[in-house]
């Protein structure tokens, strides 16, 4: 429940603190005194949009702080843990607006985002302002009302788990099918490219090696001449290289007196002689192997031409680049085959999940259907109690074309205010006053099921008076037995039902008009309700009626 509200520098409020009580809290005051301003300030800590225009003094920041004693501690602790916030039995929510209009939000003195603030607000307060009856026309609210009465929480959770599995399988399947569709468009072309490379059957570096070999074959005659001349020069000729080195070795061997290091040089020369003879022999062998092979030359030319066409086609430079492309195409073609198998598996997973969704969805629909008749009867009885004897609410439940996260059907509230027999959507036929009383009737039925610890009504009694107002007061008083209820009202019949009465007033301080709030004593309540009954004239008759309404005679 909301235990304390502290407001500083907001609208015409300089600074005030209100301590709310369990049960039924009523707020009254003259028009323009600042009653709705209190709701505006409370709206800030519940996540409403902030604006620097609300600053009472433009040179100071605005601060609104609300203290709550949560009734659903499990939900609160879950939110605290999910957002890494300190756990505490009390929740203090603060909103600050700087002079520049920038807003900051805090929970238990820890900064949080506005989104997080709104999540906490959802489990703390149900705030109903004058025009919030529009919520009645929303599908989500209407469905939650029926679910609360039908007690579908456990089944709905089970359904949503099945639906989540179904939605995941469906999403994955759609992605795979899209990939398959795109791959199918390219499949034939990729297969053609792969086959072309596969038939070419290049080995690593083949094109580059063929170009080197064809150069050799094309110049075979001149190469043979050069190789033969080199071999001849080394071993034959007028002064063969090997003979000259051998002569040097023999000359060095004849020295009797040998300088230091000569033996080593002689060994090196002997090794060089052996190496030169080997080189000469290899030159001769190489010369013999170089042959003009026309057939080989033609084959190499064909391979090079084929390779160059493929290199140009794929815009690459080497044989290994082509082989890499061939491998990629092979993987791509294989992936298409694997994709078909994967699609089959996910199709089965989707079908299995859909069966579970359909089963629990039908059970959910059945539970909702069973709750409709009793809900319609209860609402009609309450509408009659609040002065709408001819009004009737009808709930229409229709199957959806496809399963949704909330179930397999759409719930719609239809309304007939005057026994016309024509039921239309609420937003088309119900007036503001009718919607307000209908909203009160519905919330009084489902407040427990929808987990509404604190309900706040800002002039929900607009447009009613007399017996209807008295009955609204009775309903609100009954609702306050299990929930904290805070209401702004102009109706004495409702004000008299409250356990705690707050009076909002204006006062002048330092040449400025400011709003104040005080809790009324029993005598002050008599005077205030008498004033509400008789207007500006305060009579003993109205005071007597006020005392009777309060049960204070």
Residue identified by tokens 């919607």 is 435
Whether 359 maps to a domain, the answer reads no
Please name the residues in contact with 59: beta carbons below 8 A apart, sequence gap of 6 or more. Answer: 99
Domain coverage including residue 242: 178-338
CATH number of the domain where residue 24 is located: 3.40.50.300
What pLDDT shows up at residue 536?
65
pLDDT tens digits for range 430-458: 666 677 778 888 888 887 666 667 888 87
Whether 301 maps to a domain, the answer reads yes
DSSP strand pairing (24-29 vs 484-488): parallel
The Cα–Cα gap between 183 and 174 comes to 14
Cβ atoms of 292 and 217 within 8 Å: the answer is yes
How far out from the chain centre does Cα 481 lie? 39
Whether 348 maps to a domain, the answer reads no
What pLDDT shows up at residue 553?
38
DSSP strand pairing (500-509 vs 512-519): antiparallel
89 and 2 share a domain? yes
187 and 57 share a domain? no
What pLDDT shows up at residue 291?
65
234: number of CA atoms within 13 Å, CB side? 19
What pLDDT shows up at residue 292?
63
114 and 226 share a domain? no
The Cα–Cα gap between 509 and 521 comes to 24
Joined together, the tokens standing for residue 320 give 């290994």
Cβ atoms of 412 and 395 within 8 Å: the answer is yes
What pLDDT shows up at residue 134?
43
Whether 220 maps to a domain, the answer reads yes
Cβ atoms of 35 and 503 within 8 Å: the answer is no
Measured at the CA of 542, the angle between CA 536 and CA 546, to 5 degrees, comes to: 115
The Cα–Cα gap between 12 and 133 comes to 27
What pLDDT shows up at residue 294?
67
293: number of CA atoms within 13 Å, CB side? 14
Q: What is the DSSP string of 21-47?
A: -SSEEEEEE-TTSSHHHHHHHHHHHTT
Residues of the chain with pLDDT under 70: 72, 127-138, 218-221, 237, 290-294, 429-433, 448-452, 463, 536-538, 552-553
Whether 261 maps to a domain, the answer reads yes
For the entire predicted model, the pTM comes to 0.63
What pLDDT shows up at residue 133?
42
Q: What is the DSSP string of 126-188?
A: EEE-TTGGGGGG-HHHHHHHHHHHHT-HHHHHHHHHHHHHHHHHHHHHHHHHHHHHHHHHHHH
The Cα–Cα gap between 182 and 185 comes to 5
* Ramachandran class of 543: left when φ > 0, alpha when ψ lies in -120 to 50, beta otherwise: alpha
277: number of CA atoms within 13 Å, CB side? 9
Q: What is the DSSP string of 392-440?
A: EEEEEEEEEEEEETTEEEEEEEEEESSS-S--EEHHHH--HHHHHHHHH
Residue ending a domain, among 283, 303, 338, is: 338
In the chain, the number of structural domains is 2
Whether 221 maps to a domain, the answer reads yes
Joined together, the tokens standing for residue 339 give 């994709």
What pLDDT shows up at residue 155?
94
120 and 185 share a domain? no
Joined together, the tokens standing for residue 209 give 């090696």
Whether 270 maps to a domain, the answer reads yes
Whether 426 maps to a domain, the answer reads no
What pLDDT shows up at residue 130?
46
DSSP strand pairing (512-519 vs 424-425): unpaired
The Cα–Cα gap between 29 and 46 comes to 24
Find residue 411's DSSP bridge partners: 397
Measured at the CA of 455, the angle between CA 64 and CA 79, to 5 degrees, comes to: 65
């Amino acid at each position: 429940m909301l235990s304390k509200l502290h407001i500083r520098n907001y609208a015409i409020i300089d600074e005030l603190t209100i301590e709310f009580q369990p049960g039924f809290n009523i707020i009254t005051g003259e028009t323009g005194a600042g009653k709705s301003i209190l709701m505006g300030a409370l709206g800030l800590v519940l996540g409403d949009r902030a604006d620097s225009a609300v600053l009472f003094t433009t040179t100071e920041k605005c601060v609104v702080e609300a203290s709550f004693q949560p009734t659903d501690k499990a939900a609160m602790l879950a939110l605290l843990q999910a957002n890494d916030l300190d756990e505490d039995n009390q929740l203090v929510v603060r909103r600050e607006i700087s002079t520049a209009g920038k807003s900051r939000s805090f929970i238990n003195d820890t900064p949080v985002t506005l989104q997080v603030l709104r999540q906490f607000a959802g489990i703390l307060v149900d705030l109903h302002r004058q025009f919030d009856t529009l919520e009645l026309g929303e599908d989500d609210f209407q469905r939650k009302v029926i679910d609360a009465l039908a007690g579908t929480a456990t089944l709905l959770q089970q359904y949503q788990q099945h639906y989540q599995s179904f939605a995941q399988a469906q999403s994955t399947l759609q992605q795979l099918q899209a990939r398959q569709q795109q791959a199918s468009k390219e499949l034939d072309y990729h297969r053609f490219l792969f086959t072309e490379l596969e038939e070419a059957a290049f080995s690593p570096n083949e094109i580059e090696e063929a170009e080197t070999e064809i150069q050799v074959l094309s110049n075979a005659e001149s190469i043979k001449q050069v190789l033969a001349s080199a071999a001849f020069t080394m071993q034959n000729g007028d002064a063969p290289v090997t003979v000259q080195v051998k002569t040097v070795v023999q000359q060095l061997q004849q020295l009797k007196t040998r300088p230091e290091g000569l033996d080593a040089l002689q060994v090196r020369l002997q090794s060089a002689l052996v190496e030169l003879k080997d080189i000469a022999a290899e030159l001769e062998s190489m010369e013999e192997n170089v042959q003009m092979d026309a057939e080989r030359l033609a084959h190499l030319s064909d391979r090079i031409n084929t390779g160059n066409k493929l290199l140009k086609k794929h815009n690459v430079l080497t044989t290994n680049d082509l082989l890499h492309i061939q491998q990629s195409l092979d993987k791509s073609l294989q992936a298409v085959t694997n994709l078909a198998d994967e699609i089959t598996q996910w199709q089965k997973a989707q079908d299995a999940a859909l069966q579970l969704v359909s089963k629990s969805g039908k059970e959910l629909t059945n539970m909702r259907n069973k709750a409709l008749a009793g809900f319609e009867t209860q609402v009609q009885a309450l509408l009659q109690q609040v002065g709408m004897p001819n009004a009737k609410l009808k709930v229409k439940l229709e199957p959806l074309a496809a399963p949704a996260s909330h179930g397999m059907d759409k719930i719609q509230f239809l309304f007939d205010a005057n026994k016309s027999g024509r039921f239309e959507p609420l937003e088309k036929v119900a007036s503001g006053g009718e919607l307000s009383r209908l909203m009160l009737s519905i919330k009084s039925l489902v407040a427990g099921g929808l987990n509404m610890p604190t309900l706040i009504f800002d002039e929900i009694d607009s447009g009613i008076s007399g017996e209807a107002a008295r009955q609204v007061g009775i309903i609100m008083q009954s609702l306050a037995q299990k929930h904290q209820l805070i209401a702004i009202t102009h109706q004495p019949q409702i004000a008299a039902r409250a356990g705690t009465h707050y009076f909002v007033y204006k006062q002048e301080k330092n040449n400025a008009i400011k709003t104040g709030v005080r809790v009324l004593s029993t005598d002050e309540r008599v005077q205030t309700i008498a004033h509400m009954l008789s207007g500006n004239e305060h009579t003993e008759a109205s005071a007597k009626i006020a005392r009777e309404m309060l049960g204070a005679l």
